[in-house]
A and B are shown apart, each in its own frame.
Chain A
Amino acid sequence: MTPATSLPYAYLDEFMKACVRKAVLKAVCIPGYQVPYVSEEVPIARGFGSGGLQITLSLIGADDVVKVFDEGDDQTVNAVNLRRFIVDVTSNATTNDPAEATLIQSRHRIPEEGLRLGQILVLQSAFPDALRFFETNEAVARRMHAEADYSKLWLRLYESIVDNHEIMIGGRYPVLINGRYVLDPTHVPRWDLPKLHDCSGIVLFGAGREKRIYAIPPHSRVEPLGFTDHPFRVERFEGAACHLCGSSHSFLTQFWRDDGSPAWVCSDSNWCEKQRAALVQEANA
């Protein structure tokens, strides 16, 4: 389908793109700081990735190759919808392979192989503020960020250890950027957080409903919070392996077969495909 002629390239008008880019620049300059911005209406409901979509549409250029995935899967409804909309308004090329993509929009996952230099990962963020759990007053929360007053966040981790003997926070695990701001990495699983440390690509977070943009610039120091005697740990899948590619060193999700027995599958569908292709090649050789 060709882009509708009445719409500007990439849907947003130039003024709006400039606003978002300005916010992105500021966010990159102050790693982890939440930059307020004018969140424009896009034909996606707030909470379905409108913030990420605005960043993608503002940064996209004619030669960008776009990958959109959701929960690690390229074929989920949300990913397909967003990808189709981006193609409709830009006619840019898309790919499922993160190695080929220059602009990646995602929810929940960072590609299993990580990011390389020159890539931008746009994450759709629902709640930009890691302090929202304890402090509902925005003004107070901003003051706490300004003063690096994060004892309540640490308390949340402490309580998790008291209840479960280890930190059992699945998503929104607080991470410290360059020793200064604590950032909410949205629902990225703990598994992916080590990839953010000293990452070559740029990671941008867009919260459309909350009207905030924040970023992790390339090669930032990213430390998930942890205690000296209870350090941060990624999820463990003891004895589990993907039932399609046999991988036991990727982030797995569990599902139930028709006969009720449990099985595991790679969360990153493209990575799983590549693993299977490699296996086939090995078998042929």
Chain B
Amino acid sequence: MKPLLSIRKLTKRFGPGCEQCVDESRWGEIDANACPNCGTVWALRGLDLDLFPGEIVGIVGESGAGKTTLVDLLSLAAVPDYGAAHLANWRGGLHSIYSASDQEKRHLSNVHISTVYQDASRGLLMGISSGGNVVERLLASGERCIGDMRARAQYLLDYMELQGLMDVRTGRLSAGMKQRVQIAKALVHRPSVILFDEPTTGLDVSVQARTLDLIRKAQREHGFAALLVTHDWNVLRLLATRALVLKAGRVIERGTVEQLIEDPQAPYSQLLIHSSTT
């Protein structure tokens, strides 16, 4: 099967880099984000990943491991220093999404690659109704019929169990509701890829469970592929099929979620799993 999104050697650094840390073959020696020699922070180092249609891949790792940088890069909010990402249904997958012009990038992140942020205010306009937030995506792609757009937004908000809240200002909704508005907004163009950046962190347990159920239901029915960034192994177990463990910007282990939970190989993965189950 052909991958939907294929990411190659994705690298992002903050700083000039020195001879020691720019050399790819010596990356194994550097165990931290920051180069001990020049202090350059390597948020992501040479990440390779193939995302296949309809699967959910988990990204785990502690704070500073490069999870959010990965989301920023794939949502086109940032540009990598090195590496490429090819999306199969954009220009036949022949060009990296980073070669797109700014306008094309806006189209890509509006239609093809949606993002659900942990902080809802990054993804939503709080002064606008929840329906308006969903409709904004349709407006951005040139739709001009209020009736059609409202019907679509209504369907998605009902789907996310937000009945009757379409014309309520988003800022007045609860945190769990805001996350569901974000998911409805992400679904509006039937994107091929959705990036979930810790979508349920900070929600209380019952709301979290409900939201995860809805994500799973939406994934089954809409068939998008997703990257799910989280530190919670329980979330992974529920949604993802396979996962990557990141540390200091590098992938240190990858495998199915069962494998990783039952039999983590790298010492760091073992630490991560044991600390979360206790």
Contact = CB atoms under 8 A, between A and B. Distances in A.
A171 to B, nearest CB: 20
A151 interface: yes
Interface stretch (A66-74, A190-198, A226-234): A226-234
A141 to B, nearest CB: 15
Contacts, number: 42
Give the size range of B's interface with the partner: 10 to 19
Given A147-B102, A162-B131, A229 B147 contact: yes
Interface in B134-173: 135-136, 139-140, 144-147, 149, 167
A154 interface: yes
Contact of A158 (B102, B103, B106, B132): B132
Contacts of B146: 158, 161, 227-230
A227 B146 CA distance: 7
A152 B128 CA distance: 10
A42 B144 CA distance: 44
Nearest to A231: B144
A147 B106 CA distance: 10
Interface in B99-135: 102-103, 106, 125, 128-129, 131-132, 135
Contact of A151 (B102, B139, B167): B139
A154 B141 CA distance: 11
A151 to B, nearest CB: 4
A228 B132 contact: no
Contacts of A162: 129, 131-132, 167
B139 A155 contact: yes
Interface string A227-258: 11110000000000000000000000000000
A155 B135 contact: yes
Interface residues of A, number: 15
Contacts of A154: 139, 144
Contacts of A228: 144-146
Contacts of A152: 125, 136
Nearest to B135: A158
Contacts of A159: 128-129, 132
Nearest to B138: A151
A13 interface: no
A149 B137 CA distance: 12
B108 to A, nearest CB: 14
Contacts of A229: 145-147
A151 B143 CA distance: 10
B136 A155 contact: yes
Contacts of B132: 155, 158-159, 162
A230 B146 CA distance: 7
Contacts of A149: 106, 140
Interface of A: 143, 147, 149, 151-152, 154-155, 158-159, 161-162, 227-230
14 contacts: A149-B140, A151-B139, A152-B125, A152-B136, A155-B128, A155-B132, A155-B139, A158-B146, A161-B146, A162-B131, A162-B132, A227-B145, A228-B144, A229-B147
